[in-house]
Structure 1
């Protein structure tokens, strides 16, 4: 019972850290990278993301992945009301409906498709995954930078990049645990650590840009893509297996549809609230630069 309480408390702390970081990033999503580097708030957001990641790793020592992953959707539950509160308005019915649909769908998908990793990436797999991630993120980022393009392209790229960071972190941590600190001196481990740092910064920039027209829909997409990418990595590279019974397939499809509905509602809520409320100066800049 004690471990369960610790796990839930850590997961709530993780969600608060990630949600606060997302809110900070969203408020400055209209700035360029050089401007962001000089902004103290960005470094605060990076610190909160790092804290969330550290707490997430810690929570795995106290509870099963099957419990911890569904609790990750608390980030969305906290972020949407927090964004409304800082804007001094109430959460709209459309936002509440979209958030509820997304959270239920995400939790259901996670419970159905998630599996615990039992292996680490080989050197060849690690190199392949880094190369594939660089290619994918480049394509999605360029797509998102087109005039009039949806910010959800960058949300997808950010979610996938965060997931790859997690896979690389797991490989490094498990390798060091099993073989000792000397593993940190291996060239492949050094490459993995450099890739983790690079992808972490890249994911932060991508998700920040995805918030330029609103927080709810991009954050929901990021929360969907992250576990989905982790599942693909587990199945393709780590030998994990998905349940394939007819009932589970039907449930997975239903949860996916519910998630899509929730994201659509959150995207629509962004437009409605933007039209009905007078945005502050910072938000005006966001629309001018979107």
Structure 2
């Protein structure tokens, strides 16, 4: 298996763990809708052992994601994150004991078709470029600024759904930039050894990833469907933009390939939004015995 195939395989595995973590987080939020942790803020969840199981799943997914970025560019790895929503469909339906409806299968088909075309247009060849120190600093400042602005906007929103979607967008920015940092760390480690694992980019990557996790948990208060769809779309857009503009990544067939890639992204996004509109991941409240004990 070549590097491209390894990157795709690891990305699919990462999406599987991300889907499990997302559904688990939402069910925790639903099970504690009346609890102080729900009313007083996401940070209170740090005291709950149940929430840390979701963190473990996310950690496994993130580790697989980082390794995938060692073998493949952002333009290959990040779009496959859309599979998180598709995989969550099966898991959520199984937990709820119901069948997947026709509209949901259509959403799956559109998402898979868009991703298939997008992967066909990507290439694992080309220079392995890392962000420079100045680019790392600039991206961090921009990302934190955007995230802070979105959090402030969410605080001013009156509707829970609006707050959740804005938090999800902020989480998407955090995860997208964190992935760019991860790509930088893996390239630098390949070139200069393991000492790069303690470089500033590594610390920024971890900080953004954990911040994204907290923002995602805040977003899931209104259910996972629409917030996860928002995160799934924003994340690869941010990461792919960085990859194309700063890391020398490209699509095959030049400008024509880029246009086709854009169309493929629209098709995949349409499938994601169709899945979200059906709200298939909004899990019913479950008894505590169905969750891992605190």
- TM-score bin (small chain): 0.7 to 0.9
Matched, 1:108 2:117: yes
Q: Secondary structure of 2:278's partner?
A: helix
Give the superposition deviation at 1:196: 1.9
Q: 2:96 aligns with which of 69, 87, 92?
A: 87
TM-score, with normalisation over the residues of structure 2?
0.76
Is residue 125 of structure 1 aligned with residue 130 of structure 2? no
| CA drift at 1:18 | 1.0
Give the Å deviation of 1:132: 0.3
Offset, 1:177:
3.4
Aligned counterparts, 1:1-290, within 5 A: 1=1, 10-29=10-29, 31=38, 32-59=41-68, 71-109=80-118, 111-112=120-121, 118-145=128-155, 146-148=157-159, 149=162, 151-183=164-196, 189=199, 191-241=200-250, 247-270=256-279, 279-280=284-285
Q: Is the 8 A contact 1:66 1:111 kept in 2?
A: no
How much does 1:119 deviate? 1.0
- Whole-Å Cα distance in 2 between the matches of residues 205 and 222 of structure 1? 13
Aligned to 2:291: none
Offset at residue 135 of structure 1 (A)? 0.7
- Note closer, same or farther for the CA distance 1:2–1:239 as it changes in structure 2 (3 Å cut): closer
Task: Note closer, same or farther for the CA distance 1:259–1:217 as it changes in structure 2 (3 Å cut).
Answer: farther
User: Residue by residue, what CA displacement relative to the aligned partner does 1:50-88 show, whole Å, maximum 9, x if unpaired?
Assistant: 111222333456678776555444322211121122122
Give the Cα separation in 2 of the matches to 1:224 and 1:114: 21
Q: Give, in whole Å, the separation in 2 of the partners of 1:232 and 1:101.
A: 22
For structure 2, which runs of at least 5 residues remain unmatched after alignment? 288-294
CA separation of 1:144 and 1:94: change in aligned 2, threshold 3 A: farther
User: Do 1:141 and 1:157's aligned partners in 2 also have CA atoms closer than 8 Å?
Assistant: yes
Change (3 A) 1:67 1:255: closer
Query: Relative to 1, partners in 2 of residues 1:133 and 1:244: Cα closer, same or farther, differing over 3 Å?
Result: farther
The whole-number CA distance in structure 2 between the counterparts of 1:110 and 1:42 is 34
The 8 Å contact of residues 168 and 196 in structure 1, kept in 2 or not, is answered as yes
Aligned CA distance change for structure 1 residues 183 and 198 (closer, same or farther; 3 Å)? closer
Cα distance 1:219–1:207, how it changes in 2: closer, same or farther (>3 A)?
A: same
Q: Which runs of 5+ in 1 are unaligned?
A: 283-290
Describe the shift of the 1:43–1:273 C-alpha distance in structure 2 as closer, same or farther (beyond 3 A): closer
Q: How far off its partner does 1:180 sit?
A: 3.4
Could you say what secondary structure the match of 1:28 adopts?
Answer: helix
Deviation at 1:182, TM superposition (A): 4.4
Q: Which residue of 2 aligns with 1:287?
A: none
